[in-house]
């Protein structure tokens, strides 16, 4: 088996330690960006929900401002975003290359994407349930946690799982600018040096991470769904 691997991936076989390091870097970027973007995205999504015309606390100025920011954020191609905010990234973390640096644009690029999904998911919660909660004198904060987030939990998990998978793609794209991780291995160590096997193995490692993420997401969704049926 080892001989077959060395024969099939001759260049990659000489860089096994680098592959494990790159995999850990990809996981690091993914986890950190998912946590930060997830928290901020949920907050913005809830704010959009609450300040909309049919929200609990309508505020046209706040809604329009947030809505436009989210739309603009979703419209900027990630590769352009990487270049545009490079000065801000350098100011924030002291460098514009490496895993820490590219985590910044990954977070900024993911927040509006997830925030819009959160808003759309929560808008699907039955208005009748909301009206019933309001009629019972439930506070807005309780409605958010006990109605919106509780009723939309399964859909939020699906949206979150999809977002994380998309986020993994952004970490790979960040390799173009020396962002580290498997994207960097595929581009800098593979494509630019003509080592096709390195690029291919980087792709395989990335797909494994995606498949495992999808598996864990589906498992969480099934557990939550099963728990509600009990």
Residue-by-residue DSSP string for 19-87: HHHHHHHHHHHHHHHHHHHHHHHHHHHHHHHHHSTTSSS--HHHHHHHHHHHHHHHHS-HHHHHHHTHH
3-state helix, strand, coil in the chain (%, to 5): 85, 0, 15
pLDDT at 7: 61
Domain boundaries, the chain: 23-229
pLDDT at 17: 81
pLDDT at 91: 86
Rounded CA gap, 143 and 149, in Å?
8
pLDDT at 135: 84
pLDDT per residue, tens digit, the chain (230 aa), is 456 666 666 776 677 788 888 899 999 999 999 999 999 999 999 999 999 888 889 999 999 999 999 999 999 888 888 888 888 888 888 877 778 888 899 999 999 999 999 999 999 988 888 888 888 888 888 888 888 988 889 999 999 999 999 999 888 887 777 677 888 888 888 777 777 888 888 899 999 999 999 999 999 999 888 876 65
pLDDT at 43: 96
Q: Which CATH class is domain 23-229?
A: mainly alpha
């Amino acid at each position: 088996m080892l001989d077959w691997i060395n024969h099939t991936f001759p260049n990659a076989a000489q860089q096994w330690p680098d592959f494990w390091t790159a995999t850990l870097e990809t996981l690091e970027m993914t986890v950190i960006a998912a946590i930060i973007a997830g928290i901020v995205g949920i907050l913005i999504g809830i704010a959009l929900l609450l300040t909309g015309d049919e929200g609990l606390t309508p505020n046209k100025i706040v809604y329009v401002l947030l809505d436009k920011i989210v739309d603009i954020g979703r419209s900027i191609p990630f590769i352009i975003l990487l270049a545009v905010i490079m000065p801000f990234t350098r100011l924030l973390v002291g460098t514009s290359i490496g895993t820490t640096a590219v985590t910044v644009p990954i977070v900024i690029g993911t927040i509006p994407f997830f925030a819009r999904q959160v808003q759309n998911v929560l808008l699907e919660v039955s208005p009748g349930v909301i009206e019933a909660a309001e009629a019972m004198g439930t506070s807005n904060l309780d409605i958010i946690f006990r109605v919106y987030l509780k009723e939309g939990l399964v859909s939020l998990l699906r949206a979150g799982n999809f977002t994380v998978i998309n986020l993994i793609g952004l970490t790979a794209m960040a390799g173009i600018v020396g962002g580290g991780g498997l994207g960097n291995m595929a581009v800098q160590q593979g494509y630019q040096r003509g080592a096709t096997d390195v690029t291919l193995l980087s792709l395989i490692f990335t797909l494994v991470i995606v498949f495992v993420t999808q598996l864990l997401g589906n498992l969480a969704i099934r557990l939550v769904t099963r728990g509600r049926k009990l």
